[in-house]
Structure 1
Amino acid sequence: ASALIADTKLLLAEWNLAQSVAENLNRARRENIFGKASRKRVEDILLIFRQRYFDDADVGAALVTLTQNGAPAQWIAPLLYFFSAQNDRTLRDIVIEVLYPRHLAGYTDLPVQVVVRAIRNWVAEGKTTTRWGEETITRVAQGLAATLRDFGVLQGAVNKHLTPIYLPTPSFALIALWLQQRERSGHLVLQSDDWRLFFLPVEGVERFFIEAQQEHLLTYNAAGSVVRIEFPAASLAEYTHVLLTNQRAR
């Protein structure tokens, strides 16, 4: 699936948190908010949107709250990318296992054959649900490259180049809370492979935590392998209000 950034932002702007997910999706169909898109295209968009952002209702509520309360666009973009990668294992693994090591090795280009080779190896190792043929592997590789270009991780229409996506501190902090809810360990949050989606080594993650603490977005304490991270909110949706209030006060 492509990035669908414009369609996603439109849905988030039109979303009513007082209604259920089903009610919101039905209203989007009924009011034809995508204009001239075919019925099949609309259904594809709504399915992808729900899977990416509303399988976890707290993620969806946080994105809606940010969008409808004037959060900067540069906050939203990395969040859409991050949660899309959580929903699409192949997209996530290509960045973490192929792009990130390539970035560390000093390469800036990404020939599509590098992606094709990685997927071919995964198929051979039985990591895909079915055994993909060469045509499918090439199509998936090209689709992943196009999606990552749309999200800003790659640049170039034909020849792709690595461009680590900009991650503002508030977006980092929201992702950190999401990881904390799953890992239940400050050390595991700090060491999480998911930071590699932003080409961040552990040292870079730690710098972000220190900066987030300086901006009063969280509390971070590290002593050896003991890492304590505390947030001023229990849910992502609640935390977005903290981030927005902090932004307005600056």
Structure 2
Amino acid sequence: MTRQRYYTTQLQAGLGLLDETRQLLQLYQPGMAASQLYDAALASGRFPLVTARRLRNIVAECFAPRFLRDPEVIKQLKLLVERFTTAELNQLLFIYTARANLVLADFVREVYWARYSAGRNDLDLEDARTFVANSVREGKTQKPWSEITIKRISSYLMGCCADYGLLATTGRSQRSITAYRILPRVAAYLAYELKFSGLGDNQIVASPDWELFGLQHADVRDQLKRLSLQGLLIFQAASGVVHIGWTYKSMEELIDVIAQS
């Protein structure tokens, strides 16, 4: 039986933290615990404007839940931090941040892309507040949130989407929806990462991670077909059944190849 996941307020510890995350990935060494990474970050001198308390919070409450829960994830990101472009790395960080923060993932899937599909060009703070308030009423938090918490989380959702490039600022409480599309090398990484996490071919196509980029099943199939044309995998589909032939036998092998493309 799958344990229910509740929305948390963890985003209040930090939004995208893109520059900080890149620095921490560079500092990380295999086997480091969060406390060891914090010590290394503090001693590095890379965070001169961040207090020790704030740095500890960034490492323990933001970086660790997103990237340290699975040793394979941090190993792969460590390999890619200098090989992927900033835009590509940010998309990977977005995926892991959304996985660690269900409220963000659902907001992007259910509100952001719904607005985009409806032809709207903007998203405002009230859209986020309505989503959070409705989610609280639906029991998606372990205990009811106060109106102050609802407002804070609404603001964090908007800020996080802006950090990751889904929104651009147009006004004090309004943001414009950007043309956010998954980049080819990120798509290849995600497909293989899902495969090595143990998912079957049809489960990979149905993964909700693709929905973070507005991709439905047919869109995912098209994306995998493009990867097939690049020789990164072999994609076949007939009568609703998908078969994927995997060209590379490990994430490290894939990363070596796509980092040179």
Q: Is the 8 A contact 2:231 2:247 kept in 1?
A: no
Give the alignment of 1:175-186 within 5 angstroms: 175-182=190-197, 184-186=199-201
Give the alignment of 1:209-220 within 5 angstroms: 209-220=224-235
Paired with 1:183 and 1:164, the residues of 2 have a C-alpha distance of: 31
Alignment partner, residue 11 of structure 1:
24
Residue 151 in structure 1 maps to residue 164 in structure 2: yes
Q: Is the 8 A contact 1:164 1:198 kept in 2?
A: no
Q: Secondary structure at the match of 1:142?
A: helix
Alignment partner, residue 222 of structure 1:
237
Give the alignment of 1:76-225 within 5 angstroms: 76-156=89-169, 158=172, 159-182=174-197, 184-225=199-240
Q: Which moved more, 1:140-149 or 1:104-113?
A: 104-113
Deviation of 1:193 (Å):
2.5
Letter in 2 for 1:36: L
Deviation of 1:166 (Å):
3.5
Deviation of 1:242 (Å):
2.6
TM-score by length of 2: 0.86
Residue 53 in structure 1 maps to residue 45 in structure 2: no
TM-score by length of 1: 0.90
Letter in 1 for 2:73: V
Q: Is the 8 A contact 1:58 1:235 kept in 2?
A: no
Deviation of 1:38 (Å):
0.5
Paired with 1:74 and 1:140, the residues of 2 have a C-alpha distance of: 25
Letter in 2 for 1:20: M
Q: Secondary structure at the match of 2:226?
A: helix
Letter in 2 for 1:78: Q
- Unaligned 5+ runs, structure 2: 1-13
CA RMSD of aligned residues (A): 1.9
Q: Secondary structure at the match of 1:83?
A: helix
Letter in 1 for 2:103: T
- Unaligned 5+ runs, structure 1: none
Paired with 2:143 and 2:132, the residues of 1 have a C-alpha distance of: 12
Q: % of aligned pairs identical?
A: 26
User: Deviating runs (4+, > 3 A) in structure 1?
Assistant: 21-25, 232-238
Deviation of 1:26 (Å):
2.7
Give the alignment of 1:16-35 within 5 angstroms: 16-17=29-30, 19-22=31-34, 23-35=36-48
Deviation of 1:231 (Å):
2.7
Q: Cα deviations across residues 50-96 of structure 1 (Å, max 9, x unaligned)?
A: 2111211111111110113x322222111011111011110001011
Q: Is the 8 A contact 1:123 1:131 kept in 2?
A: yes
Paired with 1:65 and 1:142, the residues of 2 have a C-alpha distance of: 33
Letter in 1 for 2:228: Q
Letter in 1 for 2:101: D
Q: Is the 8 A contact 1:58 1:237 kept in 2?
A: no
Assess, with a 3 A threshold, how the Cα gap between structure 1 residues 230 and 40 changes in structure 2: closer, same or farther. Answer: farther
More helix by share: 1
Residue 73 in structure 1 maps to residue 120 in structure 2: no
Deviation of 1:180 (Å):
2.7
Q: Secondary structure at the match of 2:242?
A: strand
Q: Is the 8 A contact 1:71 1:244 kept in 2?
A: yes
Name which structure has the greater RCO, CA cutoff 8 Å, separation 6+. 1
Paired with 1:34 and 1:15, the residues of 2 have a C-alpha distance of: 15
